[in-house]
Chain A
Amino acid sequence: MSIDRRSFFKFLGITGLTVIGLKSSGENTTPEDDSEFYGVLYDSSICIGCRACEKACAKAHGLPEPEDELEAGIKRKTSENQRCVINAFETDEGEVYVRNQCMHCNEPACVAACLTQAMYKTKEGPVIWREEKCMGCRYCMVSCPFDVPKFEYGSTNPKIQKCDMCYDRIKNGEIPVCVKTCGDALFFGTRRELISEARRRIAEWPEMYIEDIYGEHTVGGTGYLYLAPVSHKELGFDIKLQKNSYPSLTKSFLYSVPAVDVLVPSVLLGLHAATKVKQTKTENYE
């Protein structure tokens, strides 16, 4: 009978999927010590805009050295050849420099968006891109509120280019090359350490800093934290970003999927049964 056949195949399917599912979904991003993500504190008040970090980053990752000059008013961006970028801003406190790169969010939009888990939040904290899984759909680019991932449109085997906080070095106990090269404006540690260091600086030199740490709560908290001498708005930060993580925006939809999967077939079966009676009746009275 067709019933049994169907059940049989579905049973096969469940067993198979259970095996695969348990294996792969177990790779979810639940770190053992989930309050100790690594991050980087960037101090805009100290940064002198020497761009040594840009050059070190390019060298370490085999990318061309950025050649264009800094100019206040012109916004430079990361690209498929550049992972981090310094921008200059003209403010009341003089020329202020701001570094832009991947923010390594606590709950990244790109990680939730990636359907193959190519974008991956490691348990140490950095968000990395795994080449062998990526299919180049660019959904991470659509979702990222900071427009960070950049795509190699000109290549037949395109990469996604973005800062990965030198994850390979972190795993070996070292620090990212930009932090190593700079030493002053960049500071590496766990998020807890960074925030307490940032608070310390604000308390000790209140005339140098504004109170807010950008990234502390933005989009649910990010790995990169920013100290700034003037308001964030003047430094090109997006201040309209929400305090909740971006994946929480899809929460209500994704949560409703199992409920819909259970309710809709049931309602349809009910309708079918109800109209079936009507149909056999009308057939006989034709």
Chain B
Amino acid sequence: MNSPAYPITKEKQSQPVWKFILSELKPRGKWLTPFNVISLPIILAGITLMAIRFTHGLGAVSNVTQEIPWGLWKGFNVVTGVAFAGGAYVLTFIVYILKVDKFHSIVRATVLNGFLAYLFYTFALVLDLGKPWNIFNPVIGNNYGVSSVLFLVAWHFILYILGLLIEFSPAVAEWLGSKRAHKILSGLTLGAVIFGVTLSVLHQSGLGALFLMAKGKIHPLWYSEFIPLLFLVSSVFAGLSMIIFEGAISQRVFFKQISRKNHEARKDMLKILSRICAFTMFIYFFLQLLVLIHGQHWSYLNTPMGYWYLLEMVGFVFIPMLLFIRSFQKPNIVLTRVAAIMAIVGIILNRLNVSIIAFRWDAAVRYVPSWMEIVISISIILIQIWIFRWIITRMPVLNESPGFAKIHKQAGNHYISK
């Protein structure tokens, strides 16, 4: 039962656990790549600034004000980042519920990404708390603020991270070579996926619902009672665009790990993904139109904020939608990737608008993030990429699973049919 990629050699089996982990921590590959050289100083600076934030209070590093209390970390890392991590629930839905096996080769990388994303964005949330040691209060019951949308979102984050962990754990079991654990965990996958999709529907829209009570504080073009629905729909193409974007990078960086069969499969996948993105963006665009009509706010369109709104909607939702359509009519990978990047920009704009730009747009002192906030924000993302890279180069995420895993996977497909 040996696979060529992961021969379970005698040495691997007989090593004590800590020695194995230690050996895995050693870096592989070159040290001085351009990415490392740029990212390492930023990460170190970020960590230093985080320490300062804890020793000197939030105000020392952040520009948030009494009127605009949420800044870059919540607005960008949490609200925007979570939209992008939505690829995990969409893709697991496609692969495990709709059984479109074509996407099987990228589902693991996406789930891993989702898991790391949520983990790190929870960390960003903790960073942004005034008294983070009390974060356990809503978990242990001191007290349960059940009327709060944030309570719902926080709990969903925790449960969803657990769900993603279960979905990803078979890869860890394969890495460690433990067949029994692998069998058990593979059986839990379907339950974790269903749980995960339910949770995702609620917390993607929940992030939007957070802003429902800020009526009057968010510019009318971005505030409506439909914010949760719009956030949910846009999270679909946000996640898929991020999959396309990251897929382009992983394909180049981890080229050797992907089998030739999977390289070919990716081209097919791109075509399908661009169709789904185009369609979802179409629906989203019309929903926004409906909201605009329903709220009767078109008089705002002829103001500076109105122009900004049009730029976001037309420039970064409508146009990428057209590009996506073009890219699958005459299959063009470059065009797909350009469209994905534009869609990503559109999502960033939308989320930042709702949370910090159109939020108290009329305040006397506008909120502009400080350089320290930006450095911390970027370093959180970079640390996440480093860990992603560590896992990909060691665990069977992009490359083939060992033999015993494939048997369990087939068994898993039939486990309910008894």
Contact = CB atoms under 8 A, between A and B. Distances in A.
Q: In the complex, is A directly touching B at CB under 8 Å?
A: yes
Interface of A: 2, 6, 20-21, 23-25, 27, 77, 79-80, 109, 111-117, 132-139, 141-143, 145, 147, 150-158, 238, 240-242, 246-247, 249-250, 252-254, 257, 260-261, 264-265, 268-269, 271-273, 275-276, 278-280
B198 A261 contact: yes
B400 interface: no
Contacts of A240: 216
Contacts, number: 190
Given A135-B130, A268-B194, 16 more contacts: A113-B213, A117-B143, A135-B134, A135-B138, A142-B211, A153-B62, A154-B59, A156-B56, A240-B216, A241-B216, A247-B213, A250-B149, A254-B149, A265-B195, A268-B93, A268-B198
B210 interface: yes
B194 to A, nearest CB: 5
B197 interface: yes
A157 B60 CA distance: 13
Contacts of A250: 147, 149, 209, 212-213
Interface centre among B55, B128, B137, B145 (most CB of A within 10 A): B145
A246 B130 contact: no
B358 to A, nearest CB: 13
* B interface: dominant SS: helix
20 contacts: A2-B188, A6-B188, A23-B141, A113-B213, A115-B154, A116-B137, A117-B145, A135-B132, A136-B130, A137-B150, A142-B211, A142-B214, A151-B69, A156-B56, A158-B57, A158-B131, A252-B225, A253-B205, A271-B97, A279-B99
B330 interface: no
B2 interface: no
Contact of B67 (A20, A147, A246, A254): A147
* A interface: dominant SS: helix
A143 B131 contact: no
B148 A133 contact: no
A257 B199 CA distance: 10
Contacts of B216: 145, 238, 240-241
B215 A145 contact: yes
Given A2-B187, A133-B137, A279-B413, A242 B152 contact: no
B414 interface: yes
Contacts of B188: 2, 6
B41 interface: no
B194 A265 contact: yes
B13 to A, nearest CB: 26
B8 to A, nearest CB: 24
B145 A114 contact: yes
A266 to B, nearest CB: 9
A135 B131 contact: yes
Contacts of A280: 414, 417
A158 B130 contact: yes
Contacts of B201: 260, 264
A237 B134 CA distance: 35
A271 B59 contact: no
A156 B58 CA distance: 7
A21 B416 CA distance: 34
A128 to B, nearest CB: 14
